[in-house]
Structure 1
Amino acid sequence: MRARLLAAALMLGVSGAGLAMGAEPAPVALAAAIAPSSFGQYQPPKAYTGQVQQSFYVRMRDGTRLAVTVARPAVDGKAAEGRFPVIWHHSLSATQEAADGTGPRAAGFRSIPQLTDYGYVVVQVARRGNGQSFGTMRGYHERNEDADAYEMIDWLATQPWSNGIVGQYGCSNTGDAAVHAMTGGNPHLKAVFAGCFSWNKYDAMRRGGIFAQWGTGPTRSIEQDMAITPITGDEGKVLLRKAAEEHQRATPLFELWKSLPYRDSWAPSVQSTFWSEGSASSYANQMRRSGTALYVVGGWRDELRDSGLITFLNIPGTRILIGDWLHCQNDGFALVEEAHRFFDRHLKGIDTGIDRDPPIHYYTVGALNGQGGEWRSASQWPLPQASQTDFALTPKGLVMGAVKPSPFKASFAVDYTIACPEGGSGSTVQPCHLAGKGLSLSGKPLPAPVEVSGHGLADIWIASDTRDANLFLLLEDVAPDGSVKVVTEGRLKASLRKLDKAPWALPGLPWHRAYAEDVQWLKPGEPVRLQFDLMPTSYVWAKGHRIQFTFTGSDHRERARNANAQPATISLISDGDHPSRVSLPIVKP
């Protein structure tokens, strides 16, 4: 009996030291009874029904104190005996505040601390310069934070309630933090579950060289910091006040990013070419060597959806899940259960069935006769069944397939006062179609549904009346009643159009090095060729709907516009010498 109890306890993450001879163990479920499951359907029985928390400070190598909250499985209101795997969150506070950026859904990333019910210790750590922690942010996901992560993983692995096996999770800024923790190669870190992060900071925050991205990271006032819950023992908020004052010495991220127009820009405020320092892509070799299992979560309506797919191509063994979601959301999907399935496999060694699943699960919007969508799986990206199909730009609109281009030139005014009432706010800001703003070209009503799954590619000739111009391209669905839905988008600053070979694997996309020396100014009225990608999607246009491209020279998300890139008009050109086209990855029935 003793041997059977000990074996069961070890599978659940409890050490033999936590079992008294002749006593039944606290867990009520045996790991052996957990049957392998399929995608999104993992519901083993709970081992515990209580949780106890402690919050305190942990001192780092340089004396900086980081705030920590430890949640442990409990029995009858007391922490369960034994050692457990640890899952941690390198967050913006140690108490999961509403503004921490992990998404608003109760069933999402914010609910992962409930995994204490299944024999895990779950820990929240406020990153230096944030929340209740002391210190000053030096940029965003800089190497001090990565060193903190390494040190914190060591600390977590050696606590009396830890069995030395550590996992990490996060979404948005904390997803970045989780992926960056892999770059340190700490041997205790076995698995990372990360959503909506950036593979390369420049490509994420200045997509196409344009500062038109919804977020500039955590920048808070002393009053905002003082409004959060203090660490236990600091109810008078004396330490919280000192930490909040240290936070104010940080360089505001908006000012930092505004000062870095090129991929190789030097930031005097942080003494670094910061796009490189703060990008996970810079440490791809370290991530590969770490051996840490990675599960990526994304959404087709998230600004960073391409980053997860690029990570999949560059870090072998990565799994990826992409739903029809906004940033860090998981509407209608059991995200915590899937995270639990992943962590049980890699932190407890349980056969959860996940290894037999294809590595990619994605949701195709409108797959069911243009109405509801469905989950699909794949083993590679781009999808082998999707082939790039050209759409020619003609005086009569879009024409699908390779056709001899008809001479076409259309000019449109650029409106810099546009707003997007339906574009959302905060982390859900989306592009929107505004009738009459820019140039819209649509095809004929579709005789049958058309599925686009992958990355569109734009090859466009334009002319401008200024030294520079920003070109935005929206891929849209026009319903029979004339209503327009934006499906996905792409953009490029004309002066940064020079192509180069990417230093990492891409799914057949053009890449712009965008160094300062790569700038190619425009000559007024002279055509230039812009080649760029559209962010990926998986979407079905229903029968009778039309595919539409809308070109604009401005966007409601633009920030700190450059006077050089504010033309009054942009001309779109397509002829024998300047063939403009957009190709879409169409999946044939």
Structure 2
Amino acid sequence: MLRPASALLAAFLALAAACSAPQQVASQQAAPPPAPGSSFGHHRPAPQFAERITETFYLPMRDGTRLAVRLDRPAAGGVPAPGPFPVLWHHTLSIDSKPEDGAGGFSAVPGLTAHGYVVAQVARRGNGQSFGVRRGYNDRVEAHDAYEVTEWLATQPWSTGKVGTYGCSNTGDAALHALTLRPPHLAAAFAGCFAWDKYDAWRVGGIAAQWGTGPSRTVEQDMQNQPVAGDEDRALLHQAALEHQGSPPLAELWRGMPFRDSFSPLVLSRFWSEGSAGSYGDQIRASGVPLYVVGGWRDELRGQGVAALLNVPGSRLLIGPWKHCENAGFALVEEAHRFFDRHLKGIDTGIDGEPRVHYATPDSDVPDATGLPWRTADTWPPAVVTMTPTPLGGDGVLGSGAAGGRAFTVGADGTCPTAGSGPLAQPCHVAGAGTNWTGPVLAADTWLTGSPVADVHVRVDRPDAHVFAHLEDVAPDGTVTVITEGRLQASLRAEHPAPYRLPDGVPWHRSYAQDAVPLAAGEVARLRIGMLPTSYVVRAGHRIQITVTGADHRASAPLPDAQGARIEVLTAPDRPSLVQLPIAPA
């Protein structure tokens, strides 16, 4: 039962005061070994090889479709070292190692040839230099390809039979899907910024994200890829590019599936389910393949990484104050090296004895990700976190028990010149948009670590609305920083038990077509909005703020009648509006 508002306010103020057959095409120098950095272990063996040989070729799949492969092998004296070596591979969009295939430390993994690994980049069918049609995005066809590629790599004469996979963003998804068919020789997966559940990632709260509409390219764009060896006249590349044009446009695929159970005629399946790694959670768990998850507090997919941690026993999570597939200030390739050495070479790197979760906690006083202390936990959220219900007072004060309403009219989403675009876009506080609840000046640092939940009662003057809730840090000079956010389409407010484990108290919205219930005229509806997980320090002298708005510059498909809508957030003793704040001891 909810405590009286006066007790809650006193508790909040007390916390504020107390919490503190290939053709060889090139021989080149290997990438320099990873420099000493902030990887957690001290497993940094000297490089064994100063050179690597790069080969490119086509590998036929079970149906004859040829996938393009780039193979980097350790070398000495201009010839490949005989090995055998364990193999790492990346299921990419091309074999050119483009930014869209994951950036940061993930792009440096081929440098591990210096440490006795063979590394392969394999373009997914319908993409890059590979032939075929991309049916969906991380579909079952790609998963079967991943099985074949893994087993082919394991049986080559230069392979030990131990294979690991890695990737970030769409290639992180591909790495997870490789686990779902349980290839016998797959021994480890290192994946970042992926979707455990595609609907919950692409349509958070039923609201379409601003990213995920690629890759859909013209023939001319595909012809900019580097051809495989032996195709210098680009005839095969051109043939592959023509085949790619049969791929359904992803933007059209996503738009055609507004509900979790929507059937897509473009791919002849309920693709949100087919394309979600979490749909095959039992298979992933049964594979027993060690999984290392990487994420960022400024990446919209961070909740998906937490879901993987909670649903794959023995998995590990690394999460810092980064955007999508970034890792500034952290030697990610060294950590991947340590992980793969343990599971592909059987070396005791110390990783087995460490807690499952490493996370950094930023704050507004630290301008970047470097030099931050790292903390550990055995699960998420850490056991020390207390979920603290804090009222949204009718007087606009966070922590006040005053009854009443706060109304606003939805206008344009405002501008956010520093937000970025696509998966790097950040939420913004737009002055004057929506309505706010601001807490008292904090007497001591307050640590927010976990998944906040906004629990609001709203009345809207039309049948539906997009509602966005921001948890914010207000500095003494008035600067507002968005810490984390959540969103929910009002008509999809119905809650159901989640089919996979979530952090305790976080609501799950099934969002089937039958669950869509428009708001009745004058109805007061309860919306429970799970915010994305965070870890953040609000410094003494700052204030905590909640902002609720009806528009967001990142939402790619706003409701057609959104502008001009009147949204009222109401609080009363029998229907309190509040936010659950995850407060941890300093």
Question: TM-score, with normalisation over the residues of structure 1?
Answer: 0.90
Letter paired with 2:174? A
Distance across 1 between alignment mates of 2:398 and 2:279 = 41
> Could you tell me whether the CA contact under 8 Å between 2:210 and 2:423 is conserved in 1?
no
1:282 partner letter: S
In the TM superposition, residue 396 of structure 1 has moved relative to its aligned partner by: 3.5
Q: CA deviation at 1:564?
A: 6.0
C-alpha contact 2:462 2:521 (8 A) present in aligned 1: yes
- Which residue number in structure 1 is paired with residue 480 of structure 2? 484
- What amino acid is aligned across from residue 345 of structure 1 in structure 2? R
Aligned mates of 1:544, 1:408 — CA distance in 2: 28
User: In the alignment, which residue of structure 2 is the partner of 1:540?
Assistant: 537
Shift of 1:361: 0.2
Find the aligned partners of 2:481 and 2:363 in 1 and give their Cα distance.
13
1:13-32 aligned at under 5 Å gives the runs none
Asked if structure 2 preserves the Cα contact closer than 8 Å seen for 1:51 and 1:79, the reply is: yes
1:68 corresponds to: 69
Spell out the pairing of 1:58-457 with structure 2 (5 A cutoff): 58-98=59-99, 100-103=100-103, 105=104, 108-366=105-363, 373-400=372-399, 405-457=401-453
SS of aligned partner of 2:187: strand
In the alignment, residue 449 of structure 2 is paired with which amino acid?
Answer: S
Contact residue 213 and residue 557 of structure 1 kept, 8 A: yes
**Does 1:571 pair with 2:572?**
no
Which one-letter code corresponds to 2:418 in the other structure? E
Equivalent residues of 2:210, 2:422 under 8 A apart: no
Aligned-residue RMSD, C-alpha? 1.7
For 1:20, the equivalent position in structure 2 comes to none
Task: Tell me the distance in 2 between the aligned counterparts of 1:387 and 1:423.
Answer: 31
CA contact (8 A) 1:172 1:197 kept: yes
1:205-237 deviation per Cα after TM superposition (whole angstroms, max 9, x unaligned)? 000000133332322221211111111111111
| 1:417, distance to aligned residue in structure 2 (A) | 5.0
Is contact 2:453-2:528 (8 Å) kept? yes
Equivalent of 1:497 in 493, 496, 500: 493
How many Å separate the matches in 2 of 1:330 and 1:538? 16
- SS of the aligned residue for 1:397 comes to coil
C-alpha separation in 2, matches of 1:526 and 1:356: 54
The one-letter amino acid of 1:101's match is D
2:11 equivalent in structure 1: none
Note the C-alpha offset of 1:510: 0.6
Alpha-carbon distance change, 415 to 458 in structure 1, aligned in 2, over 3 angstroms: same
With over 3 angstroms needed to count, the CA separation of the structure-2 counterparts of 1:368 and 1:551, relative to structure 1, is closer
Write out per-residue CA displacement over residues 436-463 of structure 1, whole angstroms, 9 at most, x where no aligned residue: 1111221111111100000001110111
Structure 1 position 567, deviation (Å): 5.5
Please report how far the alpha carbon of residue 40 of structure 1 lies from its aligned counterpart in structure 2 after TM superposition: 4.9
Shift of 1:154: 1.1
Task: Give the whole-Å Cα distance in 1 for the aligned partners of 2:455 and 2:422.
Answer: 31
Shift of 1:419: 3.0
Partner deviation per Cα, 1:134-177 (whole Å, 9 max, x = no partner): 01111110000000000111111111211111000000000000
**Quick one: distance in 2 between partners of 1:525 and 1:305?**
36
- Structure 1 position 566, deviation (Å): 5.5
Moved more, 182-191 or 437-446: 437-446
Q: Runs of 5+ in structure 2 lacking a partner? A: 1-37
- 1:502-557 per-residue CA deviation (whole Å, 9 max, x = no partner) reads 11111111111110011111013321000121101110000000101111111111
Distance across 1 between alignment mates of 2:233 and 2:39: 49
* Amino acid across the alignment from 1:383: P
- Any stretches of 5+ residues in structure 1 without a counterpart? 1-36
Letter of the 1:580 counterpart: S
Q: Secondary structure at the match of 2:304?
A: helix
Equivalent residue letter for 1:263: R
Residues 498 and 518, structure 1, Cα contact 8 Å, conserved in 2: yes
- Structure 1 segments (4+ residues) deviating >4 Å: 367-372, 564-567
Check whether the contact 2:395–2:403 (CA below 8 A) recurs between aligned residues.
no
| Greater displacement, 516-525 / 263-272 | 516-525
Change in CA separation of 1:478 and 1:38 when aligned onto 2, cut-off 3 Å: closer
In structure 2, how many angstroms separate the alpha carbons of the residues matched to 1:70 and 1:42? 26
Amino acid at match of 1:462: V
Residues 194-203 or 238-247, more deviating: 238-247
**C-alpha distance after superposition, 1:348-370 (max 9, x if no partner):** 00000000111100001139999
Q: What whole-Å deviation, never above 9, does each CA across 1:472-507 have from its counterpart, x for those lacking one?
A: 011111100011111110010100000100111111
Indicate the SS of the match to 1:394.
coil
Q: CA deviation at 1:408?
A: 1.7
What is the alpha-carbon distance in structure 1 between the residues aligned to residue 485 and residue 514 of structure 2? 27
CA distance in 2, matches of 1:376, 1:586: 15
- The Cα offsets for residues 56-93 of structure 1, whole Å up to 9 and x where unpaired, read as 00000111100001100000111001211000000001
What is the letter of the counterpart of residue 379 of structure 1?
Answer: D
Q: Single out whichever of 39-48 and 159-168 deviates more from structure 2.
A: 39-48
Query: Would the aligned equivalents of 1:468 and 1:564 in 2 still touch at CA under 8 Å?
Result: no
CA contact (8 A) 1:370 1:540 kept: no
Corresponding residue SS for 2:555: coil
Of 216-225 and 68-77, the range deviating more from structure 2: 216-225
- Alpha-carbon distance between aligned partners in 2 of 1:469 and 1:111, rounded to the nearest angstrom: 44
Q: For residue 245 of structure 1, report the CA deviation from its aligned partner.
A: 1.0
How far apart in 1 are the matches of 2:423 and 2:547?
A: 24
Contact conserved, 1:173 with 1:197, CA < 8 A, in 2? yes
Q: How far apart are 1:248 and its partner, in Å?
A: 1.2
Aligned residues: 546
How many angstroms does 1:42 deviate by? 3.2
Partner amino acid for 1:388? M
Instruction: Show CA shifts across 1:339-396 (max 9, x none).
Output: 0000000000000000011110000113999997421011122211110112211134
Q: Secondary structure at the match of 1:409?
A: strand
AA matched with 1:80: A
Tell me if the contact between 2:133 and 2:244 (Cα under 8 Å) persists in the aligned partners: yes
CA distance in 1, matches of 2:413, 2:482: 20
CA 559–368 in structure 1, closer or farther in 2 if over 3 Å, else same: closer
Further displaced range: 314-323 or 518-527? 518-527
Q: Aligned partners of 1:460 and 1:95: how far apart in 2?
A: 48
Shift of 1:187: 1.1
- SS of 2:53's partner is strand
Cα contact 1:214–1:429 (8 A) shared by 2: no
Does structure 2 retain, via aligned residues, the 8 Å contact 1:183–1:280? yes
TM-score (norm 2): 0.91
Match of 2:457 in 1: 461
Distance 2:52 2:577 in 1: 61
CA contact (8 A) 1:40 1:334 kept: no
**Gap change, CA 1:172 and 1:335, over 3 Å in 2:** same
Task: Give the secondary-structure state (helix, strand or coil) at the position aligned to 2:392.
Answer: strand
How far 1:579 sits from its partner (Å)?
0.6
State the identity %. 55
Name the counterpart of 1:10: none
